[in-house]
Amino acid sequence: MDNIENNSSKEKSLDEFRRDKVRNFHMNIDQDDLAVGDRYRELENLDVEASESLSSYSDDDIREQMRRDSRYQIKEQKKEQKKEQKYIDSQNTRRFRIIWWVSVFLVGAALAIFMMFGVSDMLAMNRPENNTVKISIPENPTLDDVSTELKSKGVIGETVFFNLYATITKNKDFTQGDYNIATNMDYEAIINYLQSMSNRTDTVKVTITEGMSAVEIADALVKKGVLSDTRRFLKLCNSDYFDEDYEFISSVKNPKKRYYKLEGFLFPDTYECYKNERAELTITRMLNDYETRIYDDQNVSGYSQAINVGELVKKSKYSLNQILTIASIIQAEAANTEDMYYISSIIHNRLERGADRGVAKLGLDSTKYYPYRSKKSVPEDIRKTFKSTYNTYNFNGLPAGPICNPGMQAILAAIYPRSTDYFYFCHAKNGTPYYASTLWEQNYNLSRIG
């Protein structure tokens, strides 16, 4: 019994001990810990209130907030993109600089080689010596035409250098022609050689006979291949192109009344011309010959001493243009040299005394169809209506200018006519001349020759 009681007491004591321990535990809890718990509960309440407050916002407020957030995100993205692009650009710049310097080096090296080769070719340092080739430059050539022909014949090594040199030195003008040229000449020598007409080998001789008109001379030049056509030649013959170079041309007083201003000044002679040359060059060659023959002392057949025609004309009563006009008619009418001096006397007699004898008009057949030789030579489309302003049957005195280009003997005959009393002349079919002082004698001569 006592044991039972003792055991019960022990169990009771254990229970009390546990309860006392629990009480002591609660009593020992820090007040700050309790305060934290309370604060936690307050925050929970605040979150609930905030949620309730957010749920009370309008849709517009939410969208505005989203836009602000979106702009911020875009701004941040752009910053990141700029950083990336800056890095890429820096890398590209470095690569470009490397590539640029490499290119500069390569171009510089290529240019140096290029220039060395060009200088060598310009100075003809590596060309064969004592070798001559024939080159042909076409009509109206370009610089490329010339350089291509030179390269094809081994005269130059490369067209680019030659074209560059000719352009820089302003030597781009070349003329058509054939040349025999050495292959060891430098650029300067080549250009000088090709620009000198005297080095051309494609020459042709043309004989202009006494009495040929400007039209006939133009036709002869085309036939010989000196000119490609007559148009430019005849246009220049009726222009002021040569006035500044030749005083005897600028002294012509009535150019508008003439068919061809240069008629009478294209001196008959044998000329060495170039094929397809410029008409300016051809005419210049003839005018130079005329100037020499007229104004320099000349040895003429039948005269014992040298004659200066220009000085002789000054001593006469006629101007140079009048003498040339008379000489052209004499050249066209006379059968031979002796006949020239008799016809000259008849022309002078009519000019000076014809009015008193009823023959003030010269009445010469050679003037009827000028600038054509005869009626048959007048173009068919104007033949029926053509009337020459030079026709001496229609007016007194001399025509406006020469009707052809007379030779030296005809010019001297015009200056020194025979002293006669003749006013008429005619020729038989065989060229025999007949002269008369009266119309009755002229008709009698005409009846004799049929």
Domain map of the chain by residue range? Answer: 100-201, 204-295, 317-449
Bigger pLDDT: 292 vs 47: 292
Q: Rounded to an integer, what distance in angstroms lies between the CA atom of residue 306 and that of residue 21? A: 170
Q: What is the pLDDT of residue 415?
A: 97
SS3 state of residue 421: coil
d(CA 298, CA 309): 8
What average pLDDT does the segment 420-440 reach? 96
- pTM of the full predicted structure? 0.69
**pLDDT of 34:** 45
Give burial (CB, 10 Å; 0-12/13-18/19+) of 41.
Answer: exposed
Express each pLDDT in 173-189 by its tens digit. Answer: 898 899 999 988 888 98
Q: What integer pLDDT is reported at residue 324 of this predicted model?
A: 97
Query: For the segment 302-351, what is each residue's pLDDT rounded down to a tens digit?
Result: 888 899 999 999 999 999 999 999 999 999 999 999 999 999 999 999 99
Please write the tens of the pLDDT for every residue from 70-107: 777 777 777 777 777 777 777 777 676 667 666 665 55
* Topology of domain 204-295, CATH: Dna Ligase; domain 1 (3.30.1490)
- The pLDDT-based confidence of 252 (bands split at 50, 70, 90) is very high
pLDDT at 365 over 90: yes
**pLDDT tens by residue, 200-244:** 999 999 999 999 999 999 999 999 999 999 999 999 999 999 999
**CATH H superfamily, domain 100-201:** Endolytic murein transglycosylase (3.30.1490.480)
Tokens matching residue 144 = 């490329």
Per-residue confidence band for 111, with pLDDT thresholds at 50, 70 and 90? low
Given a contact cutoff of 8 angstroms between Cβ atoms, the answer to whether 345 and 419 are in contact is yes
**406, 392, 389, 399: which is closest to 363 by C-alpha?**
392
- Tens digit of each residue's pLDDT (9 = 90 or more) over 368-377: 999 999 999 9
204-295 has the same fold as 100-201:
yes
Q: What percent of the chain has pLDDT over 70?
A: 78
Angle, helices 337-357/408-415, rounded to nearest 10 degrees: 40
What single-letter amino acid sits at 360?
A: A
Query: Does the bond joining 268 to the residue before it have cis omega, within 30 degrees of 0?
Result: no
pLDDT (0 to 100) of residue 82: 79
Whole-number pLDDT of residue 87: 73
Q: What pLDDT score was predicted for residue 42?
A: 52
Q: What single letter denotes the amino acid at residue 9?
A: S
> Could you give the percent of the chain with pLDDT greater than 90?
58
Predicted pLDDT of residue 4: 43
**What pLDDT sits at residue 85?**
79
User: 13-22, 294-303, 398-407: lowest mean pLDDT where?
Assistant: 13-22
* pLDDT above 90: residue 426: yes
Q: What is the pLDDT of residue 108?
A: 54
- Diameter of the chain measured on Cα atoms: 217
146-159 per-position pLDDT tens digit: 999 999 998 888 88
What is the sign of the dihedral through the CA atoms of 232, 238, 243 and 247?
positive
pLDDT at 71: 73
Distances, alpha carbon 278 to alpha carbons 14, 197, 222, 233, in Å: 149, 12, 12, 9
